[in-house]
Structures are given as C-alpha cells and as structure tokens.
Chain A
C-alpha cells in the first residue's frame, strides 16, 4: 500500500467518523490554537496516575490531555470483578472519545495498552490522527496478551487461569527496570489486573494500520524479546516511525521530558 492510498483511506475514514462522533459536539470547546488532544492509555496494573509527569508537561504547553483509568485498576480498583474483560477496557477508552467529543487525537498506549488502542482504532478510527505504541504490544487479530507476552508472564497467566483467579498481582517495578527512586511509589500505586482482559483474544480488521501517523517507542532499558522483535519489524516498515529510549519499561515515569518530546514530534 502506498502512502497516497493510506492517506485517502484515512481521510475517508475520518470524514465518516466526524459524522458519527461529532454529532452534537459543535458546542464543545476545542483545545487552544495549535493545541493537540492526547489520550494516554496505561498498561497492566497501572492507572491514569502513571502519566502525571507527561500530562503536566503537555498541559503546560497548551495541549489537552486525558488519562482514563481502565475499570478494575488504580482509582477504579474498587470496581474489580470477574466480569471485566477486554471489551470493557476498549469501551473505557472509546467512551472517553465519544463523551468528550474528541477528534484528531494522539492516542498513546503503553505495554498492555497497545492491545487496547488497537481495539479502540476499530471503533473510533476516525477520531485518531496519530497512534503511538510505547513499549507496547502491537497485536494481530486473534492475539491475546496471554499468548504474546514473554515466557514468564505467559506461564504466570496460565497458572492463574488454572486456579480460576479473577486478577493477576502486580509485577514489581524493579522487574520493569523502573528507576530506583520511583520504585516504591510505582509499587504502591499498582493494583491487581483483571485476568480476562489478558486472556481474551482481540478482533481487529486493520483500522490501526489505516491511521496516518504511526509510531513505536521502545524502552531499551527493559529487556523484552517480544518488544525487540516488534521494534525491528516496524523499523523495516516504512509506514511506522520508530524511537528508542534508554530507560525502563515505564518510560512516562523514567523519562517524561524525552517521551513528551517524542509524542509532540509524532503528533
């Protein structure tokens, strides 16, 4: 597919999207001139809290930022139950776009959030101007995190499924190579992750790959075979921009300034 074809497809998709999503939103205010709208989607065990440094930096420059916490996690951990599945989390994000009447957004997904934003693109592709995968899974249709994660995580998920558990306990910040100073804070904030969201298979039809601007950011300080191979694959794909940061998996915690610069460059 050439760039020209991609762009036309996207524009067509966007026009359709505006018709649906923008319905009665003419009354809503838009970000100030030159301002962009960012929707930042956290990873497993995390919550909107992890983005605070990045959202502060973006807001200071006049951008509008949404950092929704997915159901059952962080500030929404009181809602944890065995009914939460992948569709719940995709809807958590799609609904922010719908109710806030957002368009031309920069949609960022961290880690597990890559599965979510791939699902969001299927339902709200017309509202997305750029999509960014931050040390994240970039699933194909039929993938689940349980099948695509590194071997230790896959084994842990399988064991929990066997025991009919509802949630998976957080992995220590040290394992994700979070900078030492912030590990206690990150460990205190992380909460059990609803298990079904990790085992559910995602259905995607290619909406993600029709978004005009696509980027992958690899946090190299965190050793991960799956993310390394995703980075190499997308580096070879002319339609994606690829970046590397010399920090732990939680790049928004470890290197917020550098990450913000990349997000603004991609947007």
Chain B
C-alpha cells in the first residue's frame, strides 16, 4: 500500500521536476521498461550500517532491463562485517569503490551513492572521474574539502560514535530502521541486516579538489519523509546550481532503494 502510494505520488513529482518529453517513456513503468537502448553500467554504493544487500530490488529492476549493476559492500559492514577493525578509515572505503572500477575495468558509469556513501563516493571520484559519466546523490552527504562526517552527521550518530569510542569499540551499532523512516513492512528485514559502522571512516577529513562537481550529469534525490537538515541544505545547494538536477522522493523514508525501488530505478535511468 505504501509502495503504491509512493509510486503514484513520486511519479507526479518527477514529471513536475523533469517536465514532459523524454522522461515519459521511462516513467511509464512495467510495459515500457524493456525498451532500453544502450545498456548502462551502474555502481551503487550503500550508506552507513547498510551493505550491498539494500540495493537488491533496484539491481534486479535494472538487470532485468539489460544493465550491468555492481553493489560493492564497504569493508566492515554487512557481508564484510567479519572484517570490522579499528584500522578501517575513509581511505579504505574510497579504495573499496575505486578498485571495483579498476578490476572490473568500468567506464561510462552512473555512480549512485546513498547517505554516508557521499563521503567515499566523493573521494573515489578524485581518482576515477574519467570513468564516470553521471552521478546520483541519494539522500546523501555532499562533503566539501577537509570535512569529516563526524562534524556534520545527525545528533544520534555523533552520540553513538562518541559512546563507542569511549568503550574502545571499532564501530557503533545501527539505529533502528524506524529512525530512518523505513516503511513498516520492511523494518524487521532491514534491522536484521544492518551492522555496526566503523568509527574510523567518520573521523578522517576528506581530501577533495572538485572532481565531483566536474561530472557532466549530476542529480540529487532527497527523501522527503526523513528529516535531516544536512540533506535539506545539500538539496537547496543543488537546486541553486544549474549543473545539478533535483528530485524529491515523496513519502519515502531515507532508504529510498527499499521504500520506492521502482521509482528510483526509473529516476536512475532518466538521469544516467
């Protein structure tokens, strides 16, 4: 019920922001979905506490249309949670992403980052921007040079980080899915999958020289139902910058790939 509601509302939102025309075919849903021209390559980067698992619905939708999708899990979380350690820092997660591009020899990629993924995603672009043709920031941090996640993250996240560090633990436990306003039906599943987030990645200032902003096609998606002032600010900045397109996922919680996968898949195909 929530998903259906989401889809119709979201669809109107897209039509409003994209205007009619080219978008219409891609937005027509099921029937039109098979009519893709050239297959694209997507690299989907998850946020804190999550893993590649969260993208499954979106990767299935994209693969069904012939696209290639990579959903690497960052070191220390999800299927890589057995590698949790105090040695994991932002450079580790940046390299996690960069190396997928190198070893899979990817080019002309649409890089999608969710939430915390905006940090390693911005860092990765400093090394692989020539392999990326479009980027999508999904309810994500858009750091400036020298920033640390610790300084801009939500209050509960900062408190959790300080508490975990005081106890000498390498990571901090995940908030409940409810805190991210995930749809009720999926909360149990999300809670069973989330794992502690390595502290080290939030404490290292990011080094950026502007590679992210030089990508030709840029889009920012804000999940309207999840209150987060930092993302509101990022959305406002992107709205004021003509090189970014902006979208609002109405009625979707922070985990848009879980709450509104069909809508998100359509947007990704439209902006990539």
Contacts and interface: CB of A to CB of B under 8 A. Distances in A.
B51 A76 contact: no
Interface stretch (A45-53, A168-176, A237-245, A246-254): A45-53
27 contacts: A24-B192, A24-B193, A26-B189, A27-B186, A29-B60, A31-B60, A32-B64, A48-B103, A48-B104, A49-B104, A59-B63, A64-B60, A64-B63, A69-B103, A75-B102, A75-B104, A88-B83, A95-B78, A95-B80, A95-B81, A96-B79, A98-B79, A99-B51, A99-B73, A99-B193, A100-B79, A189-B103
Closest 10 CB pairs of A and B: A95-B79, A75-B99, A24-B192, A27-B189, A75-B103, A99-B79, A49-B103, A24-B189, A99-B53, A78-B95
B185 interface: yes
Given A23-B192, A31-B60, A78-B95, 12 more contacts: A24-B188, A24-B193, A25-B189, A32-B60, A49-B103, A59-B63, A71-B83, A74-B99, A78-B99, A92-B79, A99-B79, A101-B53
B157 interface: no
Contacts of A100: 52-53, 56, 79
B79 A52 contact: no
A96 B81 CA distance: 11
B75 interface: yes
A181 interface: no
B36 to A, nearest CB: 13
Nearest to A28: B56
B233 to A, nearest CB: 32
Contacts of B63: 59, 64
B175 interface: no
B227 interface: no
State the main secondary structure of chain A at its contact with B. helix
Given A24-B189, A100-B53, A47 B103 contact: yes
Interface in B39-77: 51-53, 56-57, 60, 63-64, 66, 68, 72-73, 75
B100 interface: yes
Interface of A: 23-29, 31-32, 47-49, 52, 56, 59-60, 62, 64, 68-69, 71, 74-79, 88, 91-92, 95-96, 98-101, 189
A62 B64 CA distance: 7
Interface string B81-92: 111000000001
A49 B72 CA distance: 13
Interface of B: 51-53, 56-57, 60, 63-64, 66, 68, 72-73, 75, 78-83, 92, 95-96, 99-100, 102-105, 185-186, 188-189, 191-193
Contacts of A74: 99, 103
A79 B83 contact: yes
A60 B39 CA distance: 11
Contacts, number: 84
A32 B66 CA distance: 13
A76 B64 contact: no
Contacts of A59: 63, 68
Nearest to A25: B189
Contacts of B104: 48-49, 52, 75
B68 to A, nearest CB: 7
Nearest to A191: B103
Contacts of B100: 75
A111 to B, nearest CB: 18
A100 B71 CA distance: 11
A75 B174 CA distance: 26
B133 to A, nearest CB: 20
A4 to B, nearest CB: 36
A24 B190 CA distance: 9
B57 A29 contact: yes
Contacts of B80: 92, 95
A75 B52 CA distance: 15
A103 B82 CA distance: 21
Contacts of A27: 185-186, 188-189
A60 B99 contact: no
B144 to A, nearest CB: 25
Contact of B66 (A28, A60, A64): A60
B15 to A, nearest CB: 26
Nearest to B261: A29
Nearest to A96: B79
A77 B64 contact: no
A78 B98 CA distance: 11
B82 A56 contact: no
Contacts of B73: 99
A48 B96 CA distance: 13
A101 B79 CA distance: 11
